[in-house]
Amino acid sequence: ALEQELLAGREHLARRVASEEALRLAQFSIDQSTVGILWVNWDSRVRYANRAAESMLGYAPGQVVERPLIDFEPDLHMDRWLNLWKNARSSEDSAQVFETHCLRADGSLLPADISLSFLRFRDAEYLVVFLSDVSERRRAHDQLRELSAHLESVREEEKARIAREVHDELGQMLTVLKLETSMCELAYADLDPGLSERLDSMKRLISQLFQLVRDVATALRPPILDAGIASAIEWQARRFEARTQIPCLVQVP
């Protein structure tokens, strides 16, 4: 019986050592994680913060613990926090995910992705807050948006330049051609009865080319854009009405 008790005690001790080793390993993994992790009680006070969370929030080791979350998220009033707690507690298998700006120790804002998961550990309940710094992603997104806007601006400027060249240069050539045709008609129409008709046909063709040049220049960049996007939309709607006979009502905020 004594041997059995000693054996059982040894097995229990071995299991306890293994359990403590696993717990230390888990603690080490959490501490070394690049994702910020906070364990928070129902009262919104932090009970544990790993190194990544302390670094992201700009605090020295140990300074995050016991602080309320409102210190890091000024808009997180108690009513909102309790609602998050209630939702997480009622759906333990699914995390709540959202974006926010965390307030750092120096007063700067940290763009972050937040994930909330409910945890029961040693007869206690926590809401585990996972923080991911998305500053670089936001910065890249802003740069991409600025680049897109710049490219669109360059594209519009190029279209405007081409439209001006089409309108001005081709317009000038057609004007000269129309003038030369009129001069030819005045000088030689009486010498050839059929010449006047052919010159009239040429002038009609030149008029059609004038209209084609105006249409191409307008399609490249409508001059109405200079009056603003609202006027341009109204103008486009009127053109659509003229082509399709479909009435359009334009409301621009």
Specify whether the backbone of 61 is left (phi greater than 0), alpha (psi in -120 to 50) or beta: beta
pLDDT given at position 12: 63
Written as six digits, the tokens of 46 are 């932090």
What's the pTM value of the predicted model, to 2 decimals? 0.52
Residues 6 or more apart whose CB falls under 8 angstroms from that of 159 comprise: 220, 221
- What letter represents residue 3's amino acid? E
pLDDT given at position 63: 92
From first to last of its 253 residues, the chain has per-residue pLDDT tens of: 666 666 666 676 666 655 555 445 455 556 667 789 999 999 999 998 988 999 999 999 989 999 999 999 888 888 888 988 888 888 766 778 888 899 999 999 999 998 988 888 778 888 989 998 888 888 888 888 888 888 888 887 888 788 888 778 888 888 888 888 888 888 877 777 778 888 888 888 888 888 888 888 877 777 666 667 777 788 778 888 888 888 888 887 6
d(CA 202, CA 209): 10
Counted residue by residue, the chain has a size of 253
Kindly give the pairing relationship between strand 36-40 and strand 124-133: antiparallel
User: Sign (positive/negative) of CA torsion 15, 18, 20, 26?
Assistant: negative
The domain limits of the chain are 33-133, 145-221
Written as six digits, the tokens of 100 are 């926010």
Q: In this structure, which topology does domain 33-133 adopt according to CATH?
A: Beta-Lactamase (3.30.450)
- N-to-C CA span, the chain: 89
pLDDT given at position 167: 78
For residue 118, give the 3-state DSSP assignment. Answer: strand
